[in-house]
Structure 1
């Protein structure tokens, strides 16, 4: 197990920290193409919430992890890594969990540095952040990433990238990254079945929660974990 973790860590370090394209994307392309236009809108059109810029940056970090995990898993499946990993006595599910955890940790470091740089330049300001919201967000994105991997191994040769890519765009809208969920009306409470909706609402300082939102969050997370386990079992047969 220690050797497997070390091998995964080495590969991810090489891919993320030593990849010039990845560093350019994190510190150049993302700030100028995604963050600054939203900053302009937030200042002049009064859009979103107090932590809108941090919320967007965190969302970009989450989606980067999702896409990286998808492409890494796609490469592994095409090269029959599942068989090789089974020969070590480990399941591909466990392998993916470790890989995604390390992937998330490394991107979190990069985006924390990015946020600090933007704060020093006084491009963004950070209001009070809830540690609970960040932990819930990391957890919800982590199980979502594993769920996507489970779909990849279950359907194997079938292309699900277009579906996956479309779901990311939908998640951005329904997760309340840039505006409160209740902005969409009272019936929008059903959107809290999306695992990322409740953490982002906490991150952005919504204080109108009842007992319903946490219950919906727990229900959605439980269902995704169940489906992830099921998909991996079916895919590894």
Structure 2
């Protein structure tokens, strides 16, 4: 297991930290395409732009992990890497979990640097970041990424990317990244079945959370864990 973790860590580090495109994406494209427009709108509309900036940056980090994990898994499945991984005595499920964990950790370091820079130049305030929201975000994204990988294993060979891409866009709207979910009405509480909804609500200081939202969150996580395990078993038969 230690050798597997070391190999995966080395490959992911080279792919992410040594890839000029990732650096450009994080420190050039994101500030100009996401942060500056939000600052501009916030200045005139009083949107509380600091919360929105942190939320959007973290969401971008999460979606980067989603897409990287999806593309890596797709490559592994198409090239039958699953067979080689099984020969090492490890399951593909455990391999994906280790890979996704390292993938998330490396991207977190990269985006944390961006957030620190924004704190230094006083665009983001330090008191807006709390482990009470950051840890649930990391947990929900990790579970969700493994869930997506399990669907790839279960339905390998199917063209899922367009569906996956569309779902990510929808999640951006209904996960409360840019605005509180309660703005969508009382019935929108059902959206807390989306694993990322409650963590981003906590990040954005949502004040209308009752005992119902955490229950929906735990329910969705439990279902996803069960389906993920089942998909990997069925897909590897």
Structure 2 match to 1:46: 46
Give 4+ residue runs of structure 1 displaced > 2 Å after superposition: 46-50, 121-130
Coordinate RMSD, CA, aligned: 1.2
Task: Kindly indicate whether residue 123 of structure 2 is the aligned counterpart of residue 107 of structure 1.
Answer: no
Structure 2 match to 1:147: 147
Task: Kindly indicate whether residue 231 of structure 2 is the aligned counterpart of residue 235 of structure 1.
Answer: no
C-alpha distance in structure 2 between counterparts of 1:205 and 1:49, whole Å: 13
Deviation at 1:98, TM superposition (A): 0.1
CA contact (8 A) 2:39 2:49 kept: no
Structure 2 match to 1:90: 90
Count of residue pairs brought into register by the alignment: 237
- Residues 61-113 of structure 1 show CA distances to partners (whole Å, capped at 9, x for unaligned) of 00001001011111111111000000111010000000000000000001010
What TM-score, normalized by structure 1, do the two folds share?
0.97
Equivalent runs, 1:1-237 vs 2, <5 Å: 1-47=1-47, 51-237=51-237
CA contact (8 A) 1:198 1:214 kept: yes
SS of the aligned residue for 1:51 comes to: helix
CA contact (8 A) 1:48 1:179 kept: no
SS of the aligned residue for 2:159 comes to: coil
Which consecutive unaligned segments of at least 5 residues does structure 1 have?
A: none
- Residues 40-75 of structure 1 show CA distances to partners (whole Å, capped at 9, x for unaligned) of 122222236651110110000000010010111111
CA contact (8 A) 1:49 1:204 kept: no
- Counterparts in 2 of 1:179 and 1:49: CA distance versus 1, 3 Å: farther
CA contact (8 A) 1:50 1:204 kept: no
SS of the aligned residue for 2:207 comes to: coil
Which consecutive unaligned segments of at least 5 residues does structure 2 have?
A: none
Deviation at 1:4, TM superposition (A): 0.5
CA contact (8 A) 2:182 2:208 kept: no
C-alpha distance in structure 1 between counterparts of 2:138 and 2:218, whole Å: 14
C-alpha distance in structure 2 between counterparts of 1:84 and 1:231, whole Å: 19
